[in-house]
Structure 1
Amino acid sequence: MSLLRQTRIGLLELHFGVRGVKTLLLRDLQKAPLMIVRPFELPCGTLMAFIVNPTGGVMGGDHSEIRVQVDSGARVLILTQSATRVQPSPTGEAATQDISFTVQAGARLEYYPERTIPFAGSCFRQRIRVILEDGAEFGATETLAAGRVQSGERLAFGEYQSRTEIFQAGNRVFLDKQKLKPSGYTRAPGVWGQADYGASGVWVGAREMEEWPKRTGRLTTGHSAGGAVWLRAVAERGPELDADLLWASTAIRQQLFGATPLQVRR
Structure 2
Amino acid sequence: MVSQFLVSQLELEFIAIGGRTHLRRAYSRGALKVLRPFPYGEGLVLQLLTLGPGLMGGDQVEIRVHVAPGAKVILLNQSATKVLPARGYRPVVQRLLFRVEGFLEYYPGLTIPHPASALDQRMEVSLGTEASFSWMEMYALGRLARGEVGKFKWIRARTAIFGQVPFYMDALELLPEELGPNHPGVLEGHPYLVCGFWNWESHPFFEETENGLLGVGLTAFRHSFLRGIGNKEVTQRALKIWSQERALRGLPAVDVMRYSSAL
TM-score, structure 1 normalization: 0.90
CA offset at residue 68 of structure 1? 0.3
Which of residues 180, 189, 193 is equivalent to 1:194? 189
CA offset at residue 79 of structure 1? 0.5
Contact 1:213 1:248 in 2 (8 A): no
Give 1:55's aligned residue.
52
Which of residues 223, 245, 250 is equivalent to 1:258? 250
Distance 1:188 1:252, change over 3 A: farther
Give 1:69's aligned residue.
66
| d(CA) in 2 for partners of 1:72, 1:113 | 23
Give 1:32's aligned residue.
30
1:248 aligned to 2:248? no
Residue aligned with 1:254, SS:
helix
CA offset at residue 260 of structure 1? 3.0
Contact 1:213 1:251 in 2 (8 A): no
Residue type matched to 1:9 in 2?
V
Which of residues 121, 126, 132 is equivalent to 1:131? 126
1:165 aligned to 2:157? no
* Structure-to-structure mapping, 1:1-266, within 5 angstroms: 3=1, 5-42=3-40, 44-104=41-101, 107-168=102-163, 170-183=164-177, 185-186=179-180, 187-205=182-200, 208-209=201-202, 211-217=203-209, 218-236=213-231, 238=232, 240-255=233-248, 257-264=249-256, 265-266=258-259
State the identity %: 33
| d(CA) in 1 for partners of 2:168, 2:247 | 20
| d(CA) in 2 for partners of 1:7, 1:183 | 25
Distance 1:108 1:190, change over 3 A: farther
Contact 1:90 1:121 in 2 (8 A): no
- Please give the root-mean-square deviation of Cα atoms over the aligned residues, in Å: 1.6
Stretch deviating more after TM superposition (140-149 or 220-229): 220-229
CA offset at residue 14 of structure 1? 0.3
Residue type matched to 2:207 in 1?
R
Residue aligned with 2:23, SS:
strand
Q: Which runs of 5+ in 2 are unaligned?
A: none
Residue aligned with 2:179, SS:
helix
Residue aligned with 1:30, SS:
strand
Residue type matched to 1:151 in 2?
R
Flag the structure with higher strand content.
Answer: 2
Residue aligned with 1:111, SS:
strand
| d(CA) in 1 for partners of 2:254, 2:184 | 33
| d(CA) in 1 for partners of 2:221, 2:110 | 27
| d(CA) in 2 for partners of 1:243, 1:46 | 25
CA offset at residue 113 of structure 1? 1.1
Q: Which runs of 5+ in 1 are unaligned?
A: none
Distance 1:4 1:134, change over 3 A: closer
Contact 1:58 1:95 in 2 (8 A): yes
TM-score, structure 2 normalization: 0.91
